[in-house]
Amino acid sequence: MSESAHESEPVRIPDHDLDDLVATVPRLVAESGKQGETFARLTDDQPSEDDSEPADPVHPESPASASAPADGDANDGPASVFILALGAKAYAEELAALTNWVHNLLLPVYGREITTGRPWCRQWQEHPEAVARLHALWLAWQQLTDVQAGLTGPSTWHRDHLDPALLQLRTPDGPFGACTTSAARPHHRLLAAPEPAGV
């Protein structure tokens, strides 16, 4: 009978351990929620028969419609989270989320003045290279600003991702080289890509 009495006694946790436990539980719940959202997003990005159509009309030549290999099982998950590897529907959804991040965080904080030395294009979504670079930058931002990245995560994002991406995007010979070089004179033009060599 003494054994059953011990089993029914409540567990006592020292106060100093209780503070750590109280702080850990909300963090674990938040992480679990983030993982659930990521899983839901990845499973929603599964290519469907509708995604076999060309990419959205703005990017008909974009490799965005090239999703997982045709011989892959649909249960394998997406081949990549990178925007250029998504099907048309998933590409459009990811581009909308990316646009929100670019317009509400990136440009207000890091946009700087438009000059001939730092061109920009208000229609950046129509420049495949810009979409690819900004999406990669956003993916890195999501990972490196997460609590799990530690205290140096944001600094690493600035040094390893933001600075190189902006240098490539806003250089005079970058994807916006033929676009706006003065905020007072908006301009948009896509530069022709090199023709692939004949096979």
pTM of the model: 0.60
Tens-binned pLDDT, residue by residue, of the chain (199 aa): 555 555 566 666 666 665 666 666 666 666 666 666 766 666 665 544 444 444 433 333 333 333 333 344 445 556 789 999 999 999 999 999 999 999 999 999 999 999 999 999 999 999 999 999 999 999 999 999 999 999 999 999 999 999 999 999 999 999 998 898 888 888 888 877 788 877 5
Give the Cα separation of 157 and 101 in Å (integer): 15
Rounded Cα gap, residues 5 and 33, in angstroms: 38
For residue 186, give the 3-state DSSP assignment.
coil
The pLDDT, as a whole number, for residue 197 is 78
Which neighbouring-strand residues pair with 120? 180
The domain ranges of the chain are: 88-191
Backbone angles phi, psi at 118, to 5 degrees: -140, 75
Please give the structure tokens belonging to residue 85: 């590897």
Give backbone dihedrals phi and psi of 187, rounded to 5 degrees, phi first: -150, 145
